[in-house]
Amino acid sequence: MNITVNHRSQTPIYRQIKNQIKEMILKEELPDDSVLPSERVMAKIADVHRNTIIKAYNELKADGFISASQGKGYRVTYRSVGESSFEQNETKEKNEDLKKSKSVLWSHLIRQPVLDLETTFDDLFSRSYDNGNISFAGGIAAPESYYGADLALILEQLIAESKESKEKKDDLYAYTPYQGLFELRQAISVFLQGKGINARHGEIQIVSETNQAIDYLTELFIDEGDVVITEEPISPDVFRELRLAGAKIITVPVDEEGMITDRIEPLIVKYHPKFIYVNSSYHDPTGIIMSLRRRKALLKLSYQYHVPIIEDDGASEICYQEKQTPSLKALDTRNSVIYIYSFALTFAPGIRVAFVVAPRVVIKNFSHLISLRLVSFDSLSQRLLCTYMKNGTYQKNLRGICEDYRKKRDLMCDCLKAAEDFGVTFNKPKGGVYIWCKLPENMNLSRLLELAGKKGVTFIPGSVFFPYGTKGEQYIRLNYSYPGLEQIEKGMDLLLEAMEQSLEKD
């Protein structure tokens, strides 16, 4: 058994060991009933104190991956049926200073789950656009990519029509239904037919963005302690939404075909998850496309165990190959998939519109929730997008956006080839807006972040996508949609300099 400990990592050593063993189990490198080394032997293998191994084994037991018995030691019980004792490690601490304080201690009034949220991703994202930095951090559209002249023409047309028609004079600025404008939902229905998805307007709910969709869906479905299965790595935004809702999140590793679906069934049997979340096309952060074989396997499990799937498919239209892999929703024959799509990368960046496709009973209750939170969605944004789609401008400009992003991807990948000399590896994505890079063991990520930041270049470290601390310390995510070609060329030169300076000498 090969266990690698990174003493420079911010992830505790016991958790590094735990997650490596967990991944071996999920990949079936350690099949069920395998006997694990004793605490003393494992301590020698990993070159750590025995107490560290005890802590790692205890967490694996709590998560239901292994069991221990007197005289038999530890063995893998991944496929064993039974209720899990999976428990959250976080506990609320009492503070006696609350009674002594003369003023309101606001931090004590904020719910502990909110205070406990990891904010590294937000901090890095916010700082990346400060002081003229070259940002490879965000996953947002470039300002020049949204064809402002077309939008200006549509807006002028809508205003003129509103003035001319007495019947419609207030429509442009009026409140919208909680489910979203009927005309926009019809246009989206037509758009979805081109993706192989048959959805009537009554099965479509308009939202502002993907995060808002997940927020409402967790409120609809998640009770405190419910289990959700997700991929790992996973978007920090998605993980935090689920955690804040009280979900217990079990992650499954991905490989070049996406989520390793043939290891999910025992998790379903043990934990009875409320749903499975998957980012199927051009996964954030890896850029991987879930294979057709894996998609069909995941649907088969969903049907067999009646576990719904939430599919986040927002990057699927940013495609650089002729043939797209059909979405899970397009393959779904039993209405088991809830589908989320966002126009964030293909429409004006500041005009936020997304939508959810789900069974009518879900959409009905979704709309009820919205009615408690909002008076109305942004009417003008919906009307702009509706006209943009109905007159064919959306599809026409989408081709141009994909071509622009393709050029940026090609340039960044060409620049990255020089980093291969340092031991950096990456795969050229077939779509989406991210490149997932693996750094060599002798490249210090903390130093790379610091040096690149001083040179005015920002990116997102891989560790934020591994919420339980696994192997993210040797990965970085680079975005190419936002910076221009000149910025990419300049920024990559500076990043390569920082990479070379971050190599640790023997």
DSSP string of 430-493, one letter each residue: SBSSEEEEE--TTB-HHHHHHHHHHTTEE-EEGGGG-TT-SSGGGEEEEE-SSS-HHHHHHHHH
Band of residue 64 on the pLDDT scale cut at 50, 70, 90 = confident
What is residue 117's predicted lDDT score, i.e. its pLDDT? 60
Is residue 384 one of the residues assigned to a domain? yes
Is residue 7 one of the residues assigned to a domain? no
Neighbours of 330 (CB within 10 A): 18
What is residue 91's predicted lDDT score, i.e. its pLDDT? 40
Band of residue 1 on the pLDDT scale cut at 50, 70, 90 = confident
What is residue 152's predicted lDDT score, i.e. its pLDDT? 78
Mean pLDDT of 9-16: 87
What percentage of the chain has pLDDT greater than the value 90? 56
What is residue 102's predicted lDDT score, i.e. its pLDDT? 60
Pairwise pLDDT comparison (82 vs 337), residue with the higher score: 337
What is residue 322's predicted lDDT score, i.e. its pLDDT? 75
- 392, 426, 459 — which closes off a domain? 392
Is residue 406 one of the residues assigned to a domain? yes
CATH number at residue 493: 3.90.1150.10
Band of residue 377 on the pLDDT scale cut at 50, 70, 90 = confident
Is residue 239 one of the residues assigned to a domain? yes
For the chain, what is the domain count?
3
Tell me: pLDDT of 128 over 70.
Answer: no
My answer on whether 134 and 164 are in the same domain is: no
My answer on whether 374 and 408 are in the same domain is: no
My answer on whether 352 and 409 are in the same domain is: no
Pairwise pLDDT comparison (273 vs 397), residue with the higher score: 273
Tell me: pLDDT of 406 over 50.
Answer: yes
Lowest mean per-residue pLDDT among 91-105, 125-139, 141-155:
91-105
What is residue 108's predicted lDDT score, i.e. its pLDDT? 61
Mean pLDDT of 182-205: 95
The answer to whether residues 348 and 195 touch, using CB atoms and an 8 Å cutoff, is no
- 376, 392, 408 — which closes off a domain? 392
Lowest mean per-residue pLDDT among 91-100, 209-218, 423-432:
91-100
My answer on whether 410 and 381 are in the same domain is: no
Q: What pTM was computed for the model? A: 0.82
User: In a 3-state reduction of DSSP, which class is residue 250?
Assistant: strand
Tell me: pLDDT of 487 over 90.
Answer: yes
Q: Give residue 149's Cα distance to chain centre.
A: 32
My answer on whether 453 and 485 are in the same domain is: yes
My answer on whether 181 and 328 are in the same domain is: yes
Cα 286 from Cα 20, distance rounded (Å): 19
Is residue 475 one of the residues assigned to a domain? yes
What percentage of the chain has pLDDT greater than the value 70? 85
What is residue 88's predicted lDDT score, i.e. its pLDDT? 38
What is residue 165's predicted lDDT score, i.e. its pLDDT? 60
Mean pLDDT of 99-122: 62
- Give me the residues paired with residue 67 across strands: 75
Tell me: pLDDT of 105 over 90.
Answer: no
My answer on whether 224 and 306 are in the same domain is: yes
CATH number at residue 20: 1.10.10.10
Tell me: pLDDT of 90 over 50.
Answer: no
My answer on whether 307 and 453 are in the same domain is: no
My answer on whether 185 and 334 are in the same domain is: yes
My answer on whether 134 and 181 are in the same domain is: no
Taking the alpha carbons of 332, 334, 335, 338 in that order, is the dihedral positive or negative? negative
Interval 248-264: pLDDT, tens: 999 999 999 999 999 89
Strand positions, DSSP E, 359-431:
425-426
Lowest mean per-residue pLDDT among 136-145, 192-201, 382-391:
136-145
Interval 281-336: pLDDT, tens: 999 999 999 999 999 999 999 999 999 999 999 999 999 987 889 999 999 999 99
Lowest mean per-residue pLDDT among 79-93, 331-345, 347-361, 416-430:
79-93
Interval 453-473: pLDDT, tens: 999 999 999 989 998 876 788
The answer to whether residues 392 and 362 touch, using CB atoms and an 8 Å cutoff, is no
Interval 202-237: pLDDT, tens: 999 999 999 999 999 999 999 999 999 999 999 999
Boundaries of domain holding 239: 148-392
Angstrom CA distances, 119 to 126, 451, 465, stand at: 11, 21, 12
What is residue 378's predicted lDDT score, i.e. its pLDDT? 77
Is residue 110 one of the residues assigned to a domain? no
My answer on whether 408 and 333 are in the same domain is: no
Is residue 265 one of the residues assigned to a domain? yes
List, as own/partner pairs, every contact residues 16-21 make where C-beta atoms lie below 8 angstroms and the sequence separation is at least 24, other chains included: 16/469, 16/470, 17/42, 17/46, 17/48, 17/52, 17/53, 17/56, 18/56, 18/57, 18/59, 18/60, 19/468, 19/469, 19/470, 19/471, 20/470, 21/56, 21/60, 21/65, 21/66
CATH number at residue 260: 3.40.640.10
The answer to whether residues 64 and 270 touch, using CB atoms and an 8 Å cutoff, is yes
My answer on whether 179 and 224 are in the same domain is: yes
Is residue 92 one of the residues assigned to a domain? no
- 354, 371, 392 — which closes off a domain? 392
The tokens describing 66, both together, are: 């292994």
- Give me the residues paired with residue 476 across strands: 437, 461
